[in-house]
Structure 1
Amino acid sequence: MEAELAAAYDRCRELHRRHGRTYYLATRLLPAWKRRHVHALYGFTRYADEIVDRTDALPPAERAARLDDWAGRFLAGLHGEPVDDPLLPAVLHTIAVFDLDRDDFASFLKSMAMDLSVTSYPSYAHLLDYMEGSAAAIGTMMLPVLESSDPAAAREPARQLGFAFQLTNFIRDVGEDLARGRTYLPDEDLDRFGVSRDDLAEASRRGRATPAIRALIAYEVRRAQAHYAAAAPGITLLAPASQACMRTAYALYGGILDEVAAQDYDVFARRAVVPRRRRLAVAARALLTPTGTPVVVPGPPLPRAVPAEPTLPRTAAS
């Protein structure tokens, strides 16, 4: 049993190391006993994402069946049934150790299922409904592992950080998502800037964004910054041993927006990546930052033509 559990944690750690370089680097700043639990939660979310996105050669019905089967094994494990799976024992152990809210996991799996049938979102409010499970729930399921001096006060910033991280990924990965048949930039925003899905596809094919697309991306960057600003107070509410980790993750994900801005908001020219030297410097600086120091909110300069900063819909801050 112990050997099986250790192997499951190793499997989760390897998934995290291979697919989540930014957050994996940040988790190395955590105490070892916390680290493996973060790997387990990342492994859970990544494996579900793999079923949805890395099996896209299969018909949607078969991918849905695979997700349902895996979710069924997970739910059976939550009810104490034996689980035959390479990583779920670690996830179930972490849930038990911290008494994590099962609703967060159900919400996450619901959003993963949406990716099999939903290809676009009419408005940002609709996208937020999706991100409640795919992003905010991850923030709240991580919070007990990271620990907080005031969990109730830290909950909303944790949700906001989930939104910020995922929107950053959506901004960076427009081309990759298009290749999977999905658009996460809201239709109402595309309409506002006179951009169609065909325009995005053509820009992806040519490797160059039009001025209208760059203005659209700049607008979404500003929206992501609003989520980062709402998340910032939560970092200092975390346990001292967790603050360096989350300062690093916060700065590095925000740094992706800096890279997007540096390439004039052309997310098709190249994939925005924070250079390795900068990642290491950010981690070192976080280690040296005194506990309780307020977090600097990321804010790359925006073109003058970009409309006023978007406000966060009520559903994002409720």
Structure 2
Amino acid sequence: MTGARVPQIDRGYRYSAALIADHGRTYHLAAQLLPAANRRGVSALYGFARIVDDIVDHADDEPLATLTHLDAVLAAFDATVRDGSTGDLVATGKLSQMEADVVAAAADTARRWTIPTEYFTAFGRSMRMDVPGAEDFVNRYRTLEQLRCYTYGSASVIGLQLLPLLGVGDQAPDSPTATAAALLGEAFQLTNFLRDVREDLDRDRIYLPTDELLTFGVDEAHLRRCRAARTTSPQLRRAVAHLIAINRGLYRRATPGIALLPRRIRPAIAAAAASYAEILTVIESPATDIMATRAVVSRRRRLRHAVEALKG
């Protein structure tokens, strides 16, 4: 590491700390329970994922520009992990200074904690799947297995990246904690898809597996009629209930691994899992219509989950 790059890395860690404090409350809470060096790393990984996600959010407005920008950030990260420099990309306008700094901090974290590069490769692949014009762009998923190809990179690997920073000793891919981290990421993502089906449909995306929906008589035309009427039909409610059961199975399978986490970090992760899982209860309530409103868990309930996790 050259001395000239240290200020850039330090700026990147500071930017990332601000991002996680503002936008990543669950990660931020967990990070506060860690030593400073680990905490900085968690922030850097969150910051990197955040800037990539912000880029992808513009995919529908400017797909070609988004893809160029995304590929520049991903390539800069790969090069910086190999101890390259992002300065030339800033000079050419491919990355902002903030993006280059966050990339530098995330790459520094990846090296310091020996995080497998394939986790970042999988993350980049899934992000490209969300950008129209990319050769691997997908906005419909027929089966749960096809959806898992996406959620592995978009969510499961985030948990796997964090394991060394959370103080987990055994990080082998088939270890109980790694299995739980991947399952919990997948569970969170599927919960998001069930909660956000209306918003995703407005962006011409259907993340709920279409084969699973068709089993209950729900095709894309049916979904769009529900969206136009701002109501969830009985058929769609049955399909969603089926997917909620699958989703709850993911949370159950992750639970034994959460119990193996270091004591000081376990309550934050357990509370986050409980709060996210309760979104499913809100979704299936007769008082909630996912085609008209967004399911949320009250602050009071989230605080109760935190208290219960601390007692556990």
Note whether the superposition's TM-score is higher than 0.5.
Answer: yes
CA RMSD of aligned residues (A): 2.0
Alignment partner of 1:65 is 2:68: yes
Q: What is the alpha-carbon distance in structure 1 between the residues aligned to residue 304 and residue 65 of structure 2?
A: 44
What corresponds to 1:128 in structure 2? 148
Q: Does 2:152 correspond to 1:148?
A: no
Cα distance per residue 1:191-241 (max 9 Å; x no partner): 111112232233233322111111111111111111111111111211222
Aligned to 2:50: 46
The residue type equivalent to 1:128 in the other structure is: R
Q: Does 1:96 align with 2:115?
A: no
2: CA distance between counterparts of 1:35 and 1:261? 36
Say which is worse superposed, 103-112 or 127-136, in terms of deviation.
127-136
CA 1:263–1:79: 2 relative to 1, 3 Å: farther
Deviation at 1:27, TM superposition (A): 4.1
Deviations 1:161-182, CA, capped at 9 Å, x for gaps = 1111111111111111112211
Question: Residue 268 of structure 1 corresponds to which residue in structure 2?
Answer: 291
Quote how far apart the aligned CAs of 1:281 are: 2.6
Q: Name the counterpart of 2:251.
A: 228
Q: Is 1:162 the counterpart of 2:216 in the alignment?
A: no
**3-state SS in 2 of match to 1:185:** coil
Which residue of structure 2 lines up, in the alignment, with residue 56 of structure 1? 60
Rounded to whole Å, the distance in 2 between the matches of 1:25 and 1:204 is: 36
The 1:89–1:257 alpha-carbon spacing in structure 2 relative to 1, beyond 3 Å, is: same
Report if the CA contact (8 A) 2:26-2:268 is conserved: no
What's the counterpart of residue 199 of structure 2? 176
Hey, what does 2:10 align to over in structure 1? 6
Q: How many residues align?
A: 288
Distance, in Å, in 1 between the alignment partners of 2:26 and 2:41 is 17
Tell me the CA shift for residue 147 of structure 1: 2.3
What are the Cα deviations for residues 59-113 of structure 1, in whole angstroms up to 9, with x where unaligned? x222211111111111110110122413112211211221101000001100111
- In the superposition, relative to structure 1, how do residues 282 and 225 fare at CA in structure 2: closer, same or farther (>3 Å)? same
- Specify the alignment match of 1:37 in structure 2: 41
- Residue 21 and residue 197 in structure 1: after superposition, are their counterparts in 2 closer, same or farther (change >3 A)? farther
Distance of 2:11 and 2:226 partners within structure 1: 44
Which of the pair has the greater relative contact order for Cα pairs under 8 Å at 6+ separation?
1
Q: Distance in 2 between matches of 1:22 and 1:208?
A: 31
User: How far does residue 261 in structure 1 lie from its aligned partner after superposition?
Assistant: 2.3
Q: Is the 8 A contact 1:30 1:245 kept in 2?
A: no
Deviation larger for 71-80 or 202-211: 202-211
AA matched with 2:57: D
> In 2, Cα distance between the equivalents of 1:144 and 1:247?
18
Structure-to-structure mapping, 1:220-299, within 5 angstroms: 220-263=243-286, 266-289=289-312
Percent sequence identity is 38
What are structure 1's unaligned runs of at least 5 residues? 290-318
Aligned 8 A contact 1:259 1:274 in 2:
yes
Amino acid in structure 2 at the alignment position of 1:98:
W
Deviation at 1:32, TM superposition (A): 4.6
Q: Secondary structure at the match of 1:241?
A: coil
The one-letter code of the counterpart of 1:9 is: Y
- Cα distance, 1:131–1:210 mapped onto 2, change above 3 Å: same
CA deviation after TM superposition for structure 1 residue 242, in Å: 1.5
Deviation for aligned residue 1:249: 1.5
Superposed displacement of residue 55, structure 1: 4.4
